[in-house]
Amino acid sequence: MSELNLILLGPPGAGKGTQAERLVADFDLPYYATGDILRAAVKDGTELGRQAKEYMDRGDLVPDEVICGVIMERVDSDEARDGFLLDGFPRTVGQANVLERGLQALGRRLTAALLLDVPDDEVVRRLSGRRVCVKSGHLYHVEFDPPKHDDVCDQDGSRLIQRDDDKPETIRRRLDVYHEQTAPLIDYYEERGILRRFHGGRPPGEVHDHIRASLATLRLENEL
Ligand code: ADP
Ligand code: ADP
């Protein structure tokens, strides 16, 4: 079977984590989310966490040299030999170049860049209402996808929290950073012919159906 090397692109709050949860179940791919990796490092007080924390608190990106090695190590691991799903990486053209060259050196390339298009006002609404399970990272929204009981995870009964960077001032900063540093990747992957666009503003199940259909077609084409 052909490799499925995927990245998820889109502004903060576009639904990347929400779709990733579903795609991982569909395609049995190892999932690497740089935000999750960095938050865990901050919590565990590792060297990586120490280097990343001040940037994350401000809503800025951590420097490329801090994050690139961490991701390339995972992409080159045994479990990712048949494919992977990256969420939140690459986020700059510099990171995209590191990924492209790193894959090239392994005789591999990206299969598709999945872009979730969502307007800024919707992003603000989503991030302000996002709640996350402290234990499993399972995602909720106070309005669009509320838990059965306030602030309690449906799946494992753990507490739901609001991320520190999901506060209004930091949300604005993260959106600016997205438009300045990450949005140029849309053209980058379009030029390489691997960009796939989806209306991220649609309900989660619908977005998921579209992505799955697009990947099924892509796989067929790659196998022909
Ligand atoms: P990202 O990983 O891109 O930052 P998330 O998957 O964490 O985005 O989603 C951000 C918030 O929006 C979460 O609270 C999630 O429950 C909610 N959400 C995700 N997808 C949708 C959607 N299609 N419609 C409405 N709300 C959504
Ligand atoms: P969201 O999907 O809600 O934008 P993430 O969880 O992906 O947020 O990222 C949270 C924070 O972690 C970012 O604001 C940034 O500080 C840092 N971060 C995550 N991925 C990267 C990356 N590839 N490069 C630089 N910083 C990153």
pLDDT in tens, 119-159: 999 999 999 999 999 998 999 999 999 999 999 999 999 99
In a domain, 176, yes or no: no
Range of the domain at 81: 4-119+182-223
What's the one-letter identity of residue 13? G
Catalytically annotated residue among 39, 130, 131, 196: 130
| pLDDT tier, 219 (very low <50, low <70, confident <90, very high otherwise) | confident
Nearest ligand, CA 71: 2
Q: Is the per-residue pLDDT at 224 higher than 70?
A: no
Determine how many CB atoms are found less than 10 A away from the CB of residue 54. Answer: 10
Give me the mean pLDDT over the 211-222 stretch.
89
In a domain, 13, yes or no: yes
Indicate the helix (H) or strand (E) that contains 197: strand 195-199
**Considering its fold, how many domains does the chain have in total?**
1
In a domain, 53, yes or no: yes
In a domain, 147, yes or no: no
Reduced to 3 states (helix: H, G, I; strand: E, B; else coil), residue 130 is strand
Helices of type H across 45-83: 47-58, 64-75
In a domain, 216, yes or no: yes
Within 13 Å and on the Cβ side, how many CA atoms surround 9?
Answer: 29
In a domain, 40, yes or no: yes
Indicate the helix (H) or strand (E) that contains 14: none
The answer to whether the beta carbons of residues 19 and 211 sit under 8 Å apart is yes
* Arithmetic mean of pLDDT over the chain: 95
Which 8-state DSSP code applies to residue 62? P
In a domain, 87, yes or no: yes
Cα 217 to middle of ligand 2, angstroms: 30
pLDDT tens-digit readout, 8-27: 999 999 999 999 999 999 99
Two tokens at 203? 């309900």
Reduced to 3 states (helix: H, G, I; strand: E, B; else coil), residue 43 is helix
What CATH number is given to the structural domain containing 93?
3.40.50.300
Give me the mean pLDDT over the 75-91 stretch.
97
Q: Whose CA is nearest to atom 10 of ligand 2?
A: 35
In a domain, 140, yes or no: no
Give the contacts of 194 (CB within 8 A, at least 6 positions apart): 110, 111, 112, 113
Look up the pTM and report it.
0.95
Q: Is the per-residue pLDDT at 1 higher than 70?
A: no
Q: Any residues with Cβ below 6 Å from ligand 1, and which?
A: 10, 12-18, 126, 129-130, 139-141, 144-145, 203-204, 207
